[in-house]
Amino acid sequence: MTLDELDGRLFADVPEVASITGRDERTIRKAAAAGEIPSTKVGNKYMIPVAWLREQAGQAPPSRVPQPPDLDQLAERIADRVFARFIGLFTAQTLTAEPLPGPAATTVDLTNPQPNGRKSYGQHNSD
């Protein structure tokens, strides 16, 4: 791996830094844990700034610095996708769904006096 492959990224993980520097991953991890290498810990991984790697290598930063996304534009794109997915699901469900049972589809036997709907076939005497 080379620094050029990290263009557009802000951080590199320990295996990438080890590959670029030619050092062992354990050495990079220990140096990051000891604060000898600037790093940010994300979960159990150390992330090393690419700018620091370029500085150590004597390279100038890339000519094109990535711009952070416009949050309003990102929120609009997400809302559009969620709305489109919702409409797609709603349309698909209404086209394939069977009609819901209504009053006309429900039958009730009004001649059966039993509350549980079962017919009684004999008298039970409890003497």
- Quick: pLDDT tens for 79-126: 999 998 888 887 766 666 566 555 555 555 566 555 555 555 555 555
Tokens of 73: 């534009």
Cα dihedral 71→75→77→78 (10° resolution)? 130
| Helix intervals (H) in the chain | 14-21, 25-34, 50-57, 71-96
Closest CA relative to residue 11, chosen from 34, 36, 45: 45
Per domain, the residue ranges of the chain are: 3-57, 66-96
User: What pLDDT shows up at residue 1?
Assistant: 81
Determine contact, residues 46/39, Cβ cutoff 8 Å.
Answer: yes
Q: Quote the percentage of the chain above a pLDDT of 90.
A: 35
Half-sphere exposure (Cβ direction) of 105: Cα atoms closer than 13 Å: 5
- pTM (predicted TM-score): 0.47
Instruction: State which fold the 3-57 domain adopts.
Output: Arc Repressor Mutant, subunit A (1.10.10)
9 has pLDDT over 80:
yes
